[in-house]
Every structure is written in structure tokens, then in C-alpha cells.
Structure 1
Amino acid sequence: MLPVWLDLAGWRELLALVAFVSGQGAFPAPLKPEEEAELLARWRQGDRQAAHTLAERNLRLVAHIARKFESTGEDQDDLISIGTLGLVKAIDTFDPEHNTRLATYAARCIENEILMYLRSRRNSRQEVVLSEPIGADREGNEVTLMDVLGTDGTEVYDQVEGRVEREQLREKLGSLTRRERLVLELRYGLGDGVERTQREIARLLGVSRSYVSRIEKRALLKLAQVLGA
């Protein structure tokens, strides 16, 4: 939800500026302490344009923080847009009486906004992947990744609770090729407990993300058939 000082038109204008300066690589210069203090004072008196200026002159900070998340594989323009929303919220809730610079406070808000976005993206991708059909069982029933992994994608051993012990599952993994087994171990943290995205696995193996996706689906289908035997 946007603050009262930033209507939909103003938000679009701000995002247009973000897109323009991102392409040019030249963000507005940061504010000097005295400039920031003056704008904050005007903003506290209800000057909406002062709030807009505070946002525009802190866009460089948003871009700097967004670059810290390059390794996630997310589009940088998307991260900057999300970070800009965090900046807007920071301006709306900043209290100068706490004796800290706006940039210091905004940095935390920007980073938190991006982190929440990344978590929601990860959860959304997981839900889509888990419900995606990967084949059929011997009776012709559709098999999804959720059927193989259970409802909790972060705990892969839930899929065999009450039926197969952990060591038995590893024996079943022996029916896979070396690459299929490696992809599943990396994807679901079977070896080190660290789950990785398909994009991360692709970088590790030096292949495309779509190739990793095909290997994962094939491996999970094989595993589903073995577990159902």
C-alpha cells in the first residue's frame, strides 16, 4: 500500500525515473545532510514534493543495495523497483528525532523489502513446481512432484515417513544416474541440508537451467516409480 503522499500517478512517475536512470547508469546525486534536513522538515509540514525529492535523491542507495542480491538470479530492474517501494515506506515512517540519517534507516527498509520479495518468489515457485505433473503411475494416475516430496518441500524425507527409512531412500537413489542423483541432492539438500535453485545448480554444473529442470523431472519420476514399486 502506497503512503498518502504518493498516489498511483506519482508512483508510476517514480518508477519511470528508476527505469530511465537505470538505463543511463546515472542516478541523482545523494543529498547533503543540510539538504536532507530541509526536505524532511518540509515533508513533516505536509510538502509532498519534498517527499518525492527525498525518494528521487536516494535512488542510488536502492541500486547499491539491489546489486547485493545479484547472485539470486533475479532481474535487477525488478529488484530496484521492489527496493524503491522499501525506500518509499522508509520515507513515510522515518522519525528524525532518532538522531540517524534517513539513508541509514532506509537501507534497512530497502533490504527488508527485497528479502520479503525473494522469499515470496521462492515460495511461489515452489508451489508451482510441486503441483506440476511429471508423469503417471502404473494405474495411469497423474503423478506430481508433491506426490513424491510430500507437502513440505524443505524436508525431503517427509515423502517416505512411515514407509521407507532414510538409508532405504538412499538405496532408491541408486537407481538414478550419477547426474540425476547429483541434481536431486543439490536441489533438495539431501547431502548438506542446503536447498538450491535450478539456476544455482545450472551454474554449478555449467549447463542451462532448462536442462537442470529436465533432469530433475526425470529423476523424480523415476524415484516415484521406484517408491511405488
Structure 2
Amino acid sequence: MNATTANKVFTPEFDKEKVAEENIRLVYKVVWKFRNMPFDYDDILSAGMFGFNNALNSYDPNENVKFSTFAYTCIKNEIYLFMNEQRWDKRKANISAISIDEKVDSDGKDELTIKNLLQNPESEYDWQDINEAVETVVRKLTVKQRTIFLKFLEDKRQLDIAKEIGRTKQTVSLVVRDTLEKIRVEYWRGM
């Protein structure tokens, strides 16, 4: 026996089928812990099975971790991922988008949009009231929100803002939409 073979760790061959048969009940055990969640049991079970399959395919027997421990974490993480995606889809469906091109008021011939309010000091609306509403809202924003909104007012795309500040496009969109809504409310409160 030479020095290189003496330092190798010999592990028994990893038989996926045998390990799967021995540990399949682990999926049901983990899924059972999520039984009171507002999701269909079969969907959670499907996510758990997907996590179990990922565990089988990515497990390294040379690591100093038992398969059941590794699989438990994979199953649980996949279920959490599924639930977060479902919540996000539900939240996305309930969100009504606010555009800066949304009509705020109409006098018959011209339609006033939030963008026009923010950009057109010559409008027949009191620019000072609009400016005060914007300043009031922007002062109350967090540093992150203020940074996002000011970059948005510079006509930067939301995706570009997200990349620049290291956030997701959804975060940028949410901040911009909420800020515009706050400005609209503040403007009409002052009228």
C-alpha cells in the first residue's frame, strides 16, 4: 500500500434504489409537518418528492453527513420554495399595478397623469401643492426607497435600477408603485 491509497477514504458504493426505498417514508414525515398550511396536501407532497429526488441525485457519500439528514433538509427546502412561489403568485394576482401614466383627473380635453403632475410645472394644477406632496412623501421614505424612487424619476428602467442597487425588479416595482400611490393620496389630501 503506497502513501496515496493510504490517505483515501473508502466508502461503500451508494445504491440509490436501496437508499430511496429505505428513506421514502421521510418524505411523508416531513410533509406531515406542513399539513396545517393553506396548500393542497398533494402539492406539498409533490414538492417533497421533488426535494427527495434532488437529494438522491446530489448526495455525496464521501461527505460526513447521513443521507437522511441531507434528504430532510432538501425536502424541507423544496417545500418552502414551493410555498413561497405560491404565495408570490397569489400576491402578484392581487396587486393592481399603478402606472405613472395612470389618469389622475380629466377636464374634458386633457387628461392629467401622475407623470404629468411630476414633470409639468406649467400645468393648470398648483405645482406647489404637487411639489409639497412629493417632498412630504419622499421625506418619509427609507434610504433604500428614496434611492429607488429618485432613480425612477430620472427615467431609468426598473430593471436597470434593480441591477444598479442589487435588488430585484419586483422590489423596485413595488417601491415605485407604493410611492406613487402615497404621492397621489398626499396630493388629494392637501386639496
Larger Rg: 2
- Which structure has the higher relative contact order (CA within 8 Å, separation 6+)? 2
TM-score range with shorter-chain normalisation? 0.3 to 0.5
Q: TM-score under structure 1 normalisation?
A: 0.39
